[in-house]
């Protein structure tokens, strides 16, 4: 943290430091590293997204996390990763209609970019719960593709 607060580290490196700090169960220090990055480069969307994530880990009010992630999306509206993160947060809060709106324009067109099976399950369930069965099926198909790909990879390695 001494190095992170010394003005000698560039924002991208500060984000990597934050990731490392979170990995060793230091979310408050990770958030501080992101805050330092944000002071130097507030235009970098990843800074705000990561701060939103760390804010949740630190127990800040969910409204702070949501605002930070929404700001990241404002800075990078086509970042599907950010949108899935916000949709996941909104789903946990029971705000499914808002969650659908966040990912609405991305699915089905960019569904092939989703590689996280947990995210796909979450989004498939969201669409299913909101009676959007066509998109729920598309997510389920994508999940099946990923599972098959992983199985083929595992067999090749063995």
- Kindly report the three-state secondary structure assignment for every residue of 12-39: HHHHHHHHHHHHCCCHHHHHHHHHHHHH
Residues shown for the chain? 158
What is the domain partition of the chain in residue ranges? 1-77
Q: What's residue 140's pLDDT?
A: 94
Cβ-based neighbours of 33, under 8 Å, separated by 6 or more: 1, 4, 14, 15, 17, 18, 21
pTM (two decimals) = 0.85
CB 20 within 8 A of CB 34: no
Distance, CA of 51 to CA of 72 (rounded, Å)? 10
- What pLDDT sits at residue 4? 66
154 or 114: which carries more pLDDT confidence? Answer: 114
pLDDT mean across residues, the chain? 91
pLDDT digits (tens, 9 = 90+) for 49-74: 999 999 999 999 999 999 999 999 99
What number does CATH give the domain 1-77?
A: 1.25.40.10
């Amino acid at each position: 943290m001494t190095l992170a607060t010394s003005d000698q580290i560039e924002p991208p490196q500060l984000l990597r430091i934050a990731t490392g700090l979170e990995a060793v169960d230091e979310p408050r220090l990770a958030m501080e590293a992101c805050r330092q990055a944000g002071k130097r480069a507030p235009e970098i969307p990843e800074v705000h997204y990561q701060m939103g994530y760390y804010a949740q880990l630190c127990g800040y009010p969910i409204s702070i996390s949501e605002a930070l992630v929404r700001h990241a999306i404002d800075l990078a509206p086509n970042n599907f990763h950010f949108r899935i993160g916000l949709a996941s947060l909104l789903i946990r809060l029971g705000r499914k209609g808002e969650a659908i709106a966040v990912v609405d324009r991305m699915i089905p067109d960019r569904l092939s970019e989703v590689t996280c099976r947990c995210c796909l399950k979450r989004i498939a369930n969201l669409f299913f719960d909101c009676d959007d069965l066509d998109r729920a099926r598309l997510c389920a198909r994508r999940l099946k593709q990923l599972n098959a790909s992983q199985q083929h990879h595992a067999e090749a390695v063995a």
